Amino acid sequence: MIVLFNPRATSPRNRRFPLSVMSLAAVLEGREQYEIVDGNVEDDAVERILRLIEAGGVELIGVTVMPGPQMASAVDACKQIRRAHPKVPIAWGGYFPSLYTMATLNAPYVDYAVRGQGEDAILELIAALRGQQPLDGIAGLSYKDQFGLHRHNGERQMKPPDDFPWVPYHRVNVSDYLRPSFFGARTAAHHASIGCPFKCSFCGVHAAYGNREKIESPARTEAVLKHLKEKYGADSVQFYDMNFFLREDHAREIADRMVPLGMRWWCEGRIDIVNSYSDATLDALRRAGCAMIFFGAESGSDWVLEEMEKGITTSETIELAQRIRRFGIIPEFSFVIGNPRDPEGDTAATLEFIRKIKRLNPDSEIIMYHYTPVPQRDSMYGNIDDQITFPSTPDEWATKKWMDFTLRVDPQTPWLTKNTKHLIDNFEVVVSSRWPTVQDIRAPKWSRALLKSLSSWRYLTGIYAWPQELRLAHEFINLRKPKRESL
């Protein structure tokens, strides 16, 4: 018996398919006995796992771990499991152990860390636990040897999604995951690729999954979505790819295949790539149901974008904001504000840049974060500009200080002064009040009208200080915040 565990990461209204463990289940289906345990659905996931162990025969517990709330849940759950059953092997996979491998192995309740793609790795790890192959031959695996020393095998080459079977939807209660959203009454989630070919310096994806993107064929994407629609009633989908768009011919084929499905959808894309598409392709995406695209705009300063190795310019963002409006697709622009080299200058330029975007395309959704560096795998214990030393264990990452850092709620980065931080936070409150997100389907019309009327004078005059009346209004209305969706 193999237990595939998805620790709690979100509130029930925001849960989506646990695609990471379902992908592992796909390769186990028909060849191993397994159970999927989802902490976002189970009332007591740990108790369920303990019952499975006590029933006998559990050979491995595979835990998927993202930084943030899920990592904290995984720490607590694995501690309980290890105390009750110290001999049952526990392997962590996913973004956290792929990036924070040494910290992961420093936890006494983790035996193995799978870096990068895990489908083949879990099959080989199961074989190794049965004595059928050596541990040191499993690519992408880090582990503790018999002396407790950390061993790190070579990297695993990624494979495209088409090389693996579909996820076994029949092994979960699909209705638990088709949740209402701005895009539809029964919104599904799907991953159509893995990896990212770009090397933005503030992002850990290329460190965790390499710098090549493997894409699912349009025919398979169409088949999966058609299955979800016809068998389970899905009417919309969110694509959780780091870059849903690369080649224009691929995007056009996806659009043409999705038109008959009649599904509204959300995805992530790059500003320069989408901007390079023809008007015909953008119109095809609109007709296919593309309602919103998330873009990493990052900064209103070209020197910051260059330092980030983002590969775009502010003029490209402006061009896209104007152009995409003609096709009725909402751009969702994300910014990381307060670059350590010149936090005050970057902040001032970016806030003015956001105002310019709003003038050109008022429908643009704006997401703002404080600039928070992500440690790369080879500098996990190093400093960022000799100012930050990252934790060396999951337990430390799970403390309030580092959880706030991970979630960019209040990272307390040393280069950001209190005044600059307050300016960023106050501006965010004013902008999100002047243009409340369209993604909160629960908010009544009067609440949006109230926020707009209370904030208009502040936005018009540029007086952002002490917006206490807006904060009180947000508390009363409890309007959804896109960047905190997972909490």
201 phi and psi angles, rounded to 5 deg: -70, -20
51: domain CATH number is 3.40.50.280
Same domain flag for 408 and 312: yes
Using one digit for the tens of pLDDT, what is the confidence trace for 37-86? Answer: 999 999 999 999 999 999 989 999 999 999 999 999 999 999 999 999 99
* 442 or 263, higher pLDDT: 263
Same domain flag for 103 and 188: no
Cα–chain-centroid distance for residue 309? 20
Q: What is the mean pLDDT of residues 270-287?
A: 97
Give the ranges where 277-412 is alpha helix by DSSP (H).
279-287, 302-307, 314-325, 343-360, 394-397, 400-407
Same domain flag for 193 and 300: yes
202: domain CATH number is 3.80.30.20
Using one digit for the tens of pLDDT, what is the confidence trace for 315-353? Answer: 999 999 999 999 999 999 999 999 999 999 999 999 999
Query: What pLDDT score was predicted for residue 309?
Result: 87
Same domain flag for 418 and 302: yes
Whether residue 478 has pLDDT greater than 50: yes
* Residue at 193 is within a domain: yes
- Rounded to whole angstroms, the Cα distance separating 370 from 338 reads 6
* Residue at 433 is within a domain: yes
Same domain flag for 321 and 450: yes
Q: Total structural domains in the chain?
A: 2
* 481 or 195, higher pLDDT: 195
**Is the distance from CB of 64 to CB of 114 less than 8 angstroms?**
no
Using one digit for the tens of pLDDT, what is the confidence trace for 142-201? Answer: 999 988 899 999 999 999 999 999 999 999 999 999 999 999 999 999 999 988 878 777
DSSP structure class, residue 389: B
- Rounded to whole angstroms, the Cα distance separating 194 from 95 reads 12
- Rounded to whole angstroms, the Cα distance separating 349 from 359 reads 15
This model's pTM is above 0.85:
yes
Secondary structure in 3-state letters for 457-473: HHHHHCCCCCCHHHHHH
- Rounded to whole angstroms, the Cα distance separating 141 from 151 reads 8
Q: What is the mean pLDDT of residues 279-295?
A: 97
Tokens of residue 104, six digits:
């992961």
Q: Which residues of 50-61 are buried (b: 16+ CB within 10 A; e: fewer)?
A: bebbeeeebbbb
Domain end marker among 143, 162, 182: 143
Whether residue 483 has pLDDT greater than 70: no
Q: How many CA atoms lie within 13 A of 313 on its CB side?
A: 3
DSSP structure class, residue 205: H
- Rounded to whole angstroms, the Cα distance separating 462 from 448 reads 20
**C-beta contacts of 302-305 below 8 A and 24+ residues apart:** 304/339, 304/341, 304/346
* Residue at 168 is within a domain: no
Number of H helices, E strands in the chain: 19, 16
* Residue at 290 is within a domain: yes
Same domain flag for 260 and 397: yes
Same domain flag for 59 and 195: no
* Residue at 166 is within a domain: no
Same domain flag for 68 and 182: no
Taking each helix axis from N to C end, the angle separating 445-461 and 468-477, rounded to the nearest 10 degrees, works out to 160
* Whole-Å CA distances, 464 to 351, 368, 423, 470: 11, 15, 7, 10
CB atoms within 10 A of CB 84: 13
Tokens of residue 415, six digits:
């280069």
Q: From start to end of 217-351, where are the E strands?
A: 236-239, 264-269, 290-298, 330-337
Percent above pLDDT 70 for the chain: 95
Question: Which of 187, 299, 298 lies closest to 240, judged by CA?
Answer: 187
- Rounded to whole angstroms, the Cα distance separating 345 from 420 reads 10
Taking each helix axis from N to C end, the angle separating 468-477 and 418-434, rounded to the nearest 10 degrees, works out to 50
- Give the pairing of strands 184-190 and 214-215: unpaired
- Helix (H/G/I), strand (E/B), else coil: 17: coil
Largest distance between two CA atoms of the chain = 71
* Whole-Å CA distances, 50 to 28, 47, 267, 394: 21, 5, 37, 22
Cβ neighbours of residue 56 closer than 8 Å, sequence gap 6 or more: none
Domain end marker among 122, 143, 164: 143
Same domain flag for 129 and 184: no
Query: What pLDDT score was predicted for residue 377?
Result: 56
* Residue at 415 is within a domain: yes
| Residue 82: domain span | 2-143
**Is the distance from CB of 31 to CB of 129 less than 8 angstroms?**
no
**Is the distance from CB of 247 to CB of 273 less than 8 angstroms?**
no
What integer best gives the mean pLDDT of the chain? 92
Using one digit for the tens of pLDDT, what is the confidence trace for 382-427? Answer: 445 567 788 999 999 999 988 888 887 777 788 889 999 999 999 9
Question: Which of 288, 284, 286 lies closest to 331, judged by CA?
Answer: 286
Same domain flag for 44 and 190: no
- Give the pairing of strands 236-239 and 184-190: parallel
Domain end marker among 121, 143, 165: 143
Instruction: Assign 131 a pLDDT band (cuts: 50, 70, 90).
Output: very high
- Rounded to whole angstroms, the Cα distance separating 117 from 143 reads 16
* Residue at 438 is within a domain: yes
Same domain flag for 217 and 83: no
**Is the distance from CB of 159 to CB of 120 less than 8 angstroms?**
yes
* Residue at 150 is within a domain: no
Question: Which of 228, 179, 190 lies closest to 485, judged by CA?
Answer: 179
Same domain flag for 211 and 318: yes
- Rounded to whole angstroms, the Cα distance separating 292 from 465 reads 31
* Whole-Å CA distances, 1 to 25, 79, 132, 168, 380: 12, 20, 17, 17, 34
**Is the distance from CB of 85 to CB of 92 less than 8 angstroms?**
no
